[in-house]
Each structure stands twice: as structure tokens, then as C-alpha cells.
Amino acid sequence: MAIGSEAMALAIGSEFTPVTASEEAAHQASSSESNGAAAAEASLEDTKEVDDEMSMPPKLSLCLILCMAFLTCANLVIVIPTATGYAQVLGGNSTLSGLLIGVTPILASFGVFGTYWVVKRSSFSTVIQCLNFGVVCGNILYALAELTGWPFTILFARSLIGFCGGLVIPPFYITQVVGIKRRSEVMFYFSAANVLGMAAGPLFAWLVEEVVHRLQIENLVWNTFTAPGWFMAAMYLIYMLLFGLLFQEPPATQAMISTEAKEPESRPGTGPSPLELVDQRHTSLVGPIVCIWVTTVAGILNTCCEVYAVKMAQDYWGWTIANSALFLSAIVFVAGAVNLLMGRLTSKSQVDQLGLLLASLLAGASAVLLLDYGLGSLAEQVAVFALGLTLLLSSINVARSFAMPLATKLVPLKRKQRTSLWAMIGMSMGRGCGAILGSALTRATFGYVALGFCLSAALSVAACQRKLKIDERAG
């Protein structure tokens, strides 16, 4: 028994060797190092998350994307001052001139689906260059329409321009590449590019008319009505060259587009994780629908006001094509400048909900100035109409700039692309309907129609303020 006890004691002693002080210190140092590494990793994760929220693409690439929005809108409105004359030359009437302007954004709505499907499966560079080529062909066909003598030639040309316009590309690029905390700022720049393009369109129309008159060349291929087509075709060719040389494809585009946000899975028997519980919550569609309606109203009022302003200047005031084009360009340019200024002011703040409400209310108040007060003096008519139109276009485009990024913040990350898609469809459909509506309105009805649309947007935003809450699952 004594021998057995000694053997057991030796075995226990050999298995549980006492720990020395140096070994204990080494163990504590190793533990502190692992804790420090974990803390550093957690800090890097937090820093990366903040960087993602504030991420921005290369400035030159972003400028090229915004230039695409600028050219798309300029291409839409450059024909407004000459649309009625071109339609009459081809045997059409005012309805054809309204369709000539409205068919482009309406077909752009259908093109949005095709562009959205293709850009998810290809690079931005490839899709944009193919679309630009289609726009060039459409503009050349528009310039050659008088050779055919068939009014539906220009409708087909403008339809091709709209279908290949790529309206969804800029907002799609912004929602994919720009962080959530910088998205409102960049959307203001996008809205400003749109508005400045609408200001540049009539200015380009005046410029090409002056060139036609100075060259004193008038034939079926080159005249006041066909020159805008040649001009925009040349502009797009230059843009294609610059885009091919300077644009940088976002390195993470394919990953962002083709994969959805992956949430951590819970282990069997432990129940759902907190993130899974958050993702299972119901997402209200009221907020996004309100934002999409505001963008639709903005599209309606933009083209409606522009078409009616040219009609007012030429038919009621007796102005020439050049004067009406410059008048419209000056008004829309002020609205674009306001959007640029607001983009800088909101770059450091998150005031989408309040800004959307105030801008919508201001648009409704501005529309009151567009009512027909029966003013006798031409100077008074021009002054009141110009003031009301400037305030209306400025405020409704500011409201659109708040509504578009806000719509993508009210839904989970996986629904962001689809929400942006429907916002662009609403805006382009609104533009098409607004062009047709503007050609049909009169002095007695224009102000009330504009006021009605503004009030519908303002009341919907005011009534649904509680639904305009940022979704914590948005990215």
C-alpha cells in the first residue's frame, strides 16, 4: 500500500506541475495581446463602417456621370423652342409638337427596365457607351426627318433618344457607389445637373439658330429645325470620347450589384440573431411611395412649365424663338444654381424629411403667382410669371433632390436598387406627361393645374411624416 500511494503521488505531481511566476506573467501578456488585437480589429471594423458611409467615387468619374444627366436633359428640351415649327413643316399640329417632347421621357421609362437589367450584368462603361451610340443615331435621324417628309420619323427618332437616354444610370451609380451619409449631397448635384441641362437646352437652341442664320444655309438637311439634332449628335460623340478616356469603373461594382447584403446566420438551437430579428420586421411602403410621388410631380412640373413658358412667350407675348429660348434658359439656370447651393449646404447635415416638407410647401406657395390675374401691362405679366416660375422650379427640384435619396434610405439595403428604379420611372413618366399637358394648357388653367400638383405633393409629405423614418437596415 505504501508503494502504491507513493506511485500515485508521483503521478499526480507529474500531471499538475506548479506554475512558475515567469510562466504566469507570459500568460497574462499573451492574454492582453489577444485582447488588444481584438479591440484593434473592432476599431478597424468601426472605422471601415464609417468610411463606407462616407465613401465617394473618383471626382472625375462622378463628373462624367453627372455630365450624362446634363446631356440627357439638354437633349430633351433643346427641341422645345422649335418643336411646333418642325411639326407644322411635316404636316403636324400642336398635339404632335407635345408628343415630340413627351415621347422621349415616356420611352425612357421603358428603357429604364432594360438598362437596369443590363447594368446589373455588365460594367457601367459598356452600358453607357452603347446607350450613347443609340442617342447619336436618334439625333441624326431627327436631323434627317425632313428629307422623309413623314411626321412619324421625328417621333421614332425622339423615341430612340428616350429609350437609349439611360435615365437610370446616374442615380443607380450614386446609390451603388456613394455612402449613405453623402448620398443626399450627391443627389443634389444630380438634380442640379438635370436642371442645368434643362437650362442649357434652350440656350443651345438659340445658339444653333444663330449659327444657321449667320451661315445663311437653309436646306432640308441643315436648317433651324434640324440643327439641334446635329448639334446634340456632335456633343454626344465628344462625350463618348472623353468618357472612354477618363472614366474609372468602380472596383466593387459587380459585388455590390450581384450580391445582396448577407446577414449572419444563427446557430441551431440558439434562436435567431438580433440582425435576423431586425430584418424580419415589416417595411412600410408608404414613405417610399410618397417620395416617388414627389419625384413624379417634379417631372410633370418641370417639362410642363418649360413647354408652357415657350408657348406663353411665342403665342401670347409674340416673342421670337431666340427670345423665348433665352427667357426659359435664364429661369431654369437660376433653379439649377439653387440646387447646387443647397447641395453644399446639406453636405454636412441630414435634414431630408424637414427639407422635403418645406420645399413642397414653398412650391405650393409659388404656384399661386402663376394664376391668371388679368394683368394688362406686358411688363407686369412677364415679371410676375418669371418670378412664379423661377420659385416653383427651384423649390420643386429641391424637393425632388430630398425625395430621391430619402426613398432609398427608407427601405432595407436589398430593396435600394428597386426603389431607385421606380423613382426614376416616376420622374421620366412625369416628364412625358408634363410635356403633353403643357402644350394643352391655357392662361386660365395653367396656374391651377400647377397649384394642384404642388398641393398634392405637399399634403402627402405632411400627412406621412411619421412614415419618413430612416430604416436602420439601409446601407
359-373 residue pLDDT tens: 999 999 999 999 999
Whole-angstrom distance, CA of residue 403 vs CA of residue 179: 17
Residue owning grid cell 420659385: 391
When pLDDT is cut at 50, 70 and 90, the band that residue 394 belongs to is very high
Angle between helices 378-409 and 183-215 (to 10 degrees): 140
Is residue 305 within 8 Å of residue 389, measured between CB atoms?
A: yes
Q: Based on the structure, what is the number of domains in the chain? A: 1
Which pLDDT score, from 0 to 100, does residue 451 have? 96
Which pLDDT score, from 0 to 100, does residue 37 have? 46
- Those residues whose C-beta lies under 8 Å from the C-beta of residue 144, and which sit 6 or more positions away, are 153, 221, 226, 229
Is residue 457 within 8 Å of residue 399, measured between CB atoms?
A: yes
pLDDT of 271 over the 50 cut: no
CATH number for the domain including 308?
A: 1.20.1250.20
Question: Which of 9-23, 46-60, 361-375, 394-408 comes out lowest in average pLDDT?
Answer: 9-23
Q: What is the DSSP string of 307-375?
A: HHHHHIIIIIS---HHHHHHHHHHHHHHHHHHHHHHHHHTTT---HHHHHHHHHHHHHHHHGGGS----
Mean pLDDT of 43-70: 73
Is position 345 within any domain?
Answer: yes
Is position 259 within any domain?
Answer: no
When pLDDT is cut at 50, 70 and 90, the band that residue 171 belongs to is confident
Question: Which of 167-176, 193-202, 317-326, 328-337 comes out lowest in average pLDDT?
Answer: 167-176
pLDDT of 14 over the 70 cut: no
Q: Report pLDDT digits (tens) over 215-266.
A: 887 888 888 889 999 999 999 999 999 999 999 988 754 434 444 444 444 4
- CA torsion angle 239 243 245 249 (round to 10): 180
Is position 386 within any domain?
Answer: yes
For residue 197 the three cell numbers come to 441641362
Is position 21 within any domain?
Answer: no
- CA torsion angle 422 428 430 434 (round to 10): 180
For the chain, how long is the longest CA-to-CA vector?
Answer: 128
- CA torsion angle 426 407 397 71 (round to 10): -60
pLDDT of 120 over the 70 cut: yes
Is residue 183 within 8 Å of residue 174, measured between CB atoms?
A: yes
Is residue 390 within 8 Å of residue 285, measured between CB atoms?
A: no
Residue owning grid cell 492582453: 32
Alpha-helix residue ranges (DSSP H) falling in 120-226: 124-143, 145-148, 151-163, 169-177, 183-215
Which pLDDT score, from 0 to 100, does residue 80 have? 84
Which pLDDT score, from 0 to 100, does residue 260 have? 42
What range does the domain containing 420 cover?
57-250+283-467
Which pLDDT score, from 0 to 100, does residue 423 have? 86
Angle between helices 416-440 and 94-119 (to 10 degrees): 170
Left (φ > 0), alpha (ψ -120 to 50) or beta: where does 267 sit? beta
Which pLDDT score, from 0 to 100, does residue 446 have? 95
pLDDT of 285 over the 50 cut: yes
Is residue 400 within 8 Å of residue 187, measured between CB atoms?
A: no
- Residue closest to 85 by CA, chosen among 225, 188, 242: 225
In whole numbers, what is the pLDDT of the chain averaged over residues?
A: 80
Is position 260 within any domain?
Answer: no
Is position 9 within any domain?
Answer: no
Is position 149 within any domain?
Answer: yes
Whole-angstrom distance, CA of residue 148 vs CA of residue 220: 10
Is position 402 within any domain?
Answer: yes
Q: What is the DSSP string of 17-62?
A: PPPPHHHHHHHHHHHHHHHHHHHHHHHHHHHHHHHHHT----HHHH
Which pLDDT score, from 0 to 100, does residue 3 have? 45
- Give buried/exposed letters for 378-397 (b at 16+ CB in 10 A, else e): eeebbeebbebbbbbbbbbb
- Cβ neighbourhood burial of 358 (10 Å; 0-12, 13-18, 19+): middle
The size of the chain, in residues, is 475
Is residue 220 within 8 Å of residue 146, measured between CB atoms?
A: yes
Q: Percent of the chain scored above 70 by pLDDT? A: 80
Which pLDDT score, from 0 to 100, does residue 40 have? 42
Q: Percent of the chain scored above 90 by pLDDT? A: 33
Which pLDDT score, from 0 to 100, does residue 282 have? 56
Whole-angstrom distance, CA of residue 291 vs CA of residue 269: 42
Is residue 370 within 8 Å of residue 323, measured between CB atoms?
A: no
pLDDT of 44 over the 90 cut: no
